[in-house]
Amino acid sequence: MNISNTVKITPELVAEHGLKPDEYERILKLIGREPSITELGIFSAMWNEHCSYKSSKVHLKTLPVTGPIVIQGPGENAGVIDIGDGLACVFKMESHNHPSFIEPYQGATTGVGGILRDVFTMGARPIACLNALRFGSPDHPRTRHLVSGVVAGIGGYGNSFGVPTVAGSVGFHSRYDGNILVNAMAVGIADADKIFYAKATGVGLPVVYLGSKTGRDGIHGATMASAEFGEGAEEKRPTVQVGDPFAEKLLLEACLEIMAKDCVVAIQDMGAAGLTCSAVEMGAKGDLGITLDLEKVPVREEAMTAYEMMLSESQERMLMVLKPGKEAEAEAIFKKWGLDFAIVGYTTDTLRFLIRHNGEEMADLPIKELGDQAPEYNRPFTESPKLPVLDAASVPAPTSLGDALGKLVGSPDLCSKRWVWEQYDHLILNNTVQRPGGDAAVVRVQDGPKALALCTDVTPRYCEADPFEGGKQAVAECWRNLTAVGSTPLAITDNLNFGNPERPEIMGQFVGCIRGIKEACLALNFPVVSGNVSLYNETQGRGILPTPTIGGVGLLKNFEQSATLAFKASGEAILLIGETRGHLGQSAYLATLFGREEGAPPPVDLTAEKRHGDFVRDLIAKGRVTAVHDCSDGGLLVALAEMAMASGIGAKLEAAPSGLPAHAFWFGEDQARYVLTVPAAAAPEIESAAKAAGIPALRLGVTAGEQLTLPGENPISVAELKQRHESWLPDYMAGNG
Amino acid sequence: MKAAVVLFPGSNREGDVASAIKRISGKAANIVWHADSELPANTDLVVLPGGFSYGDYLRCGAIAARAPIMNAVRAHAERGGLVLGICNGFQILCEAQLLPGVLQRNAQLRFMCREVYLRVERSDTPYSRRYNAGDVLKIPVAHGEGNYTADDETIKRLEGDGRVLFRYVSPEGKLDPKWNHNGATNAIAGILSEKLNVLGLMPHPENHVDPMIGPTDGRGLFESINTVLEAA
């Protein structure tokens, strides 16, 4: 079906474009006439939630985005931070939730492709990918299919593109049954003085289209990402794009080559809303108009209309403004890599976004207003009710600690994710110092000794129970994981996944999480430099758990000083840094063993968090600890089990301190805690250093043998734990779970 | 050593292998473009690196096997020159019929990136003289289509001629289906040409040469090549 440009704009057509009646009124007022169908499509692309952040902007503005290391905060393709020696780290995380639910393999591939493009558009060579995935209940009939497709898709793109996928998180919960989360993060390295931006400068310069050809795929993808799913989600399949990692690899090499030759004034990738969004961004940011002649756009389908070309989300495409006289040089580079190169327009001083097709005007809109005058909502919100702190004594004890531990390490959320990360090439480029499975990945920068620590974190059940504490906790845990490998946490990217913002209680979750993130970022000196908001994650009126994924970057001056979580030798002292109150509300213990998600989540004391983390990082830097592990989901005994399973070495543990039920001590999820091992002789000195700094340090026992032994309990075989830990996911995926 | 690493569109481990060559031989490798028709003068080692040449569309290695540079690679091999194909390079060598057989999808139909154990079957080849026969190496794999097979006749000939250089084994060096992660016939991980000058293997020795990153069991392969070429 061809939509001609003389279509009568009806209220139904406006609604089909995801625009509310008052938003359409705003358009009429802005341009003083009825829009053409192409113009309506352009407005719908620019003003949807995904591109305009209309519901979130007012709150996002409150996040701390500056700091001495910040070169570029939110608002560009990706965030940029200074990592010293003339180098910059460029990174961002973005969701591809809706497409991945409809078509898991292609949804995931294009999510990875999009975020990689965001990073190399800024002139950086990607060095690592990460992700955060949330699936529905393992019992849900679609879950296995979705896990299989998403994981294969993430691997399929990254492996072929040639960047290691080094870390991530995978979780399951019935609240994602109808709306999974696929958050992909990419990290790149660039020369700090050679960062490329979207802002165009100069009038009459050529606007160049690069990369793959334009087809009809993904038309209105961004509008879909801004709507709830109803029953007919399957019918949306034509709006899911298809990824081509091969084309993207060529695009990467060609773009970096063209940038090195100093040909580029401005560059913007064509992601959501394709040609429309990229052209408007370049013009609006540079206070310039853009004129495009669509007959020059390379297409792979016949008879494409202006409307279709402006809204296509075909992948692996870029838009550039070239320096004068550089056309031939740039074209030769693109032809060498076998990619399309076409001058499709030019910059003007009119501030108009003028679209022509075979000489006929199809759209003529004010370019600044397209972006700047998007509706902005301060939507009503209601705060989530505070839940009472659960009394540990009211939580049943397990039949035995060993039995509970086995169930936890073999549970869907805490089991080994080896089945997932073995499908990702995590070794390519030869710089992966710490592989998946630790607290954070460590990736060497160029030839070292500098390295980056990378991780993604969020605990959605905490965010549901208390958005403010949950938001704080997501940032704090990310900071803690980066610290646990010895790095100095530098900055984060956030991927805020929530339900329908038009519901006050969902908006309340969003606002609460943002406040928590803000408070933690300020306290930990950990700015937000990029991010993405994904709203309307609901199916048939049921929202997901609020899931503000935090992707963090830390810096190690020397990667040889990074710490790992595996026990290193028998006979070493095991120390716990941080205070244990036995907080069982919203714990994995309560949820996994008793199916209860109750009470307030553990509170996060950011002052303690910082003090404990700085203390541990200093010990690592001085080479005084042999193993370090963050204590989080599942609590202390799970942390110890993970250190044991990573090494095969067991531990002889002391009894829980009196005054706390044993299961609260061992499975409570109090924050700001780390487990360390140190040579036995060094333990007293470290304990007194902690005491002097006002930091709780508790001797838990000593590494020994091949079992975990606890007073009054049967010894727990590390090999058996490992068997349970490793087998759940492969068994489940094989259909035996 | 004067190495040429061929860069096909979609290659992605050319940098890893070039840096391994530099680390071990002290000499930088030439990166040669797929559309060129000649190798640099005096090239004595050609490497076809890992990756997804031409997106692995059609069939892994099938398009690359017909790239312009492959005529020069074939001529180099016919002269007895060393040609090393790693992962996608092995697939290309099979598609170019410089080595027999094919690489099918992994038996469990998933891409796999993990460390595996390889047994060195003989040490009297240009690629293995710094190892001993029976040595067990820990080397990573990263492939979705590494399941080697060929017709019975070819397998019999390869085995009879001692042209299987590496096999997937247990950490103790024993054949065990559990450790043959991709289901390859006879657990074959790498094979040689008749004249022993062309080697194709699925694992990535170039990713295990740096003690700062992991084990260094891959060094021996590059040291062997270097020894042979420096002595020539």
pLDDT digits (tens, 9 = 90+) for B31-66: 999 999 999 999 999 999 999 999 999 899 999 999
Contact B139/B218 with Cβ under 8 angstroms? Answer: yes
Give pLDDT, residue A538.
92
What contacts A569, CB < 8 A, 6 or more positions away? A626, A649, A703
| pLDDT tens-place string over residues A180-191 | 999 999 999 999
Residue A736 has pLDDT above 80, yes or no: no
Residues of A annotated as catalytic (active site), given as ranges: 50, 96
Rounded to an integer, the average pLDDT of B171-189 is 98
Tell me the backbone φ, ψ of residue A171, rounded to 5 degrees.
Answer: -140, 165
Between chain A and chain B, how many beta carbons pairs sit less than 8 Å apart? 83
Region of residue A682 (phi > 0: left; psi between -120 and 50: alpha; otherwise: beta):
alpha
Output the pLDDT for position A530. 97
Could you confirm whether B204 is annotated as catalytic?
A: yes
Q: DSSP readout, A386-426?
A: PPPPPPGGGSPPPS-HHHHHHHHHTSTTTS--HHHHTTS--
In this predicted structure, the answer to whether residue A226 has a pLDDT above a threshold of 80 is no
A553: Cβ–Cβ under 8 A, 6 or more apart, which residues? A81, A89, A91, A187, A452, A453, A454, A482, A489, A490, A491, A492
Residue-level pLDDT at A126: 98
pLDDT digits (tens, 9 = 90+) for A399-423: 999 999 999 999 999 999 999 999 9
Over 50: is that where the pLDDT of A17 sits? yes
CB spacing of A428 vs B54 below 8 angstroms: no
- 């704009």: which residue's tokens? A9
CB contact under 8 A, A422 and B51: no
- Region A604-632: mean pLDDT is 98
Using an 8 Å Cβ cutoff, are A405 and A399 in contact?
no
Rounded to an integer, the average pLDDT of A95-119 is 95
Q: Which of A422, A423, A411 is nearest to A727 (CA)?
A: A411
A87 contact B CB<8A: no
Is the CB of B142 less than 8 angstroms away from the CB of A428? yes
Rounded CA-CA distance A447/A199 in Å is 33
Name all contacts of A53-58 with Cβ < 8 Å and 24+ positions apart: A53/A533, A54/A374, A54/A375, A54/A376, A54/A377, A55/A377, A55/A379, A55/A501, A55/A502, A55/A507, A55/A535, A56/A496, A56/A501, A56/A510, A56/A533, A56/A535, A57/A376, A58/A376, A58/A377, A58/A378
pLDDT at A231: 54
Q: Where are the alpha helices (DSSP H) in B11-136?
A: 14-25, 69-78, 88-95
- Residue A216's pLDDT is 84
Does A526 contact B at CB distance below 8 Å?
A: no
pLDDT exceeds cutoff 50 at A554:
yes
Given the DSSP bridges, would you call strands A542-543 and A547-556 parallel, antiparallel or unpaired?
unpaired
CB A249 to CB B212 under 8 A?
no
- Residue B195, Cβ density class (10 Å: 0-12 exposed, 13-18 middle, ≥19 buried): exposed
- Residue A3: its pLDDT value, please? 39
Residue ranges of B 209-228 with Cβ closer than 8 A to chain A: 210, 212-213
Nearest CA in chain B to A166: B113
How far is Cα B221 from Cα B206, in angstroms, rounded to an integer? 9
| Cβ <8 Å between A430 and B12 | no
Please report residues of A whose CB lies closer than 8 A to that of B206. 430
The DSSP bridge partners found for residue A483 are none
Query: Which residues on B lie below 8 Å from A428 (Cβ)?
Result: 12-13, 16, 50, 142, 207
Q: Least CA distance to B110: which residue of chain A?
A: A423
Quickly tell me which residue has 């310069």 as its tokens: A205
Q: What is the mean pLDDT of chain A?
A: 94
Helix (H, G, I), strand (E, B) or coil at A366: strand
Name the catalytic one among B95, B121, B145, B206. B206
Rounded CA-CA distance B163/B165 in Å is 6
Contact A384, A467 (CB under 8 A): yes
Domains of chain B: 3-231 (3.40.50.880)
CB neighbourhood size of A383 (10 A): 16
What's the rounded mean pLDDT across residues B154-159?
98
| Spatial distance between the Cα atoms of B198 and B220, rounded to a whole number of angstroms | 17
Q: Which chain A residue is nearest to residue B111, measuring alpha carbons? A: A423
Is the separation of the CB atoms in A668 and A618 below 8 Å? no
Instruction: Give the model's pLDDT for residue A137.
Output: 97
**Which residues of chain B have a CB within 8 Å of the CB of A144?**
none
Q: Is B142 in the A-facing interface, judged by CB distances under 8 Å?
A: yes
**For B9, which of A161, A338, A431 is closest by C-beta distance?**
A338
Whether chain A has a CB inside 8 Å of the CB on B114: the answer is: yes
The mean pLDDT of A706-722, rounded to a whole number, is 97
Look at residue A342 and give its three-state secondary structure.
Answer: strand
Degrees to nearest 5, angle at CA B52 with B51 and B58: 155
Q: Which of A604, A600, A579 is nearest to A472 (CA)?
A: A604
B59 touches chain A (CB under 8 A): no
What pTM, to 2 d.p., does this model score? 0.95
pLDDT at A1: 31
Phi-psi region of B200 (alpha: psi -120 to 50; beta: other; left: phi over 0): beta
- What integer pLDDT is reported at residue A271 of this predicted model? 80
Could you report the per-residue pLDDT of A243-271, keeping only the tens digit for each?
A: 899 999 999 999 999 999 999 999 999 88
Average pLDDT over residues B79-86: 98
pLDDT in tens, A515-541: 999 999 999 999 999 999 999 999 888
Tell which residue, A635, A77, A206, A147, has the closest CA to residue A395: A635
Structure tokens at A171: 């979780």
Residue A56, pLDDT score? 94
pLDDT over 90 (residue A229): no
* Identity of the residue numbered A286: G
High-pLDDT (> 70) share of chain A, %:
96
Of A453, A109, A131, A116, the C-alpha closest to A252 is A116
- Whether B181 and chain A come into contact, CB under 8 Å, resolves to no
Nearest to A422 among B55, B57, B113 (CB): B113
Q: Give the DSSP letter of residue B187.
A: G
| A159–B144 CB contact, under 8 Å | yes
Does an H or E element contain A688, and which?
helix A683-692
Residue A540: what pLDDT?
82
Strands B198-201 and B82-86: parallel
Tell me if residue B206 is catalytic: yes
Instruction: Extract the tokens encoding A242.
Output: 């298809």
Which residue in the list B34, B87, B121, B181 is annotated as catalytic? B87
The ipTM is: 0.96
pLDDT value at A2 more than 50: no
- With an 8 Å Cβ cutoff, are A159 and B114 in contact? no
C-alpha pair distances (Å), A693 with each of A577, A612, A670, A688? 12, 9, 20, 9
Cis before A715 (ω within 30): no
Asked if the C-beta of A422 comes within 8 angstroms of chain B's C-beta atoms, the answer is yes
**Which residue, among A154, A163, A249, A425, would best test binding to B if mutated, counting the most B CBs under 10 Å from its CB?**
A425
CA distance A155 to B143: 11
H/E segment holding residue A454: strand A451-457
Inter-chain CB proximity A428 and B16 less than 8 Å: yes
Q: In whole angstroms, what is the distance from residue A471 CA to residue A482 CA?
A: 17
Contact status of B112 with chain A (Cβ, < 8 Å)? yes
Mutation target for B interface from A151, A337, A430: give the one with most B CBs within 10 A. A430
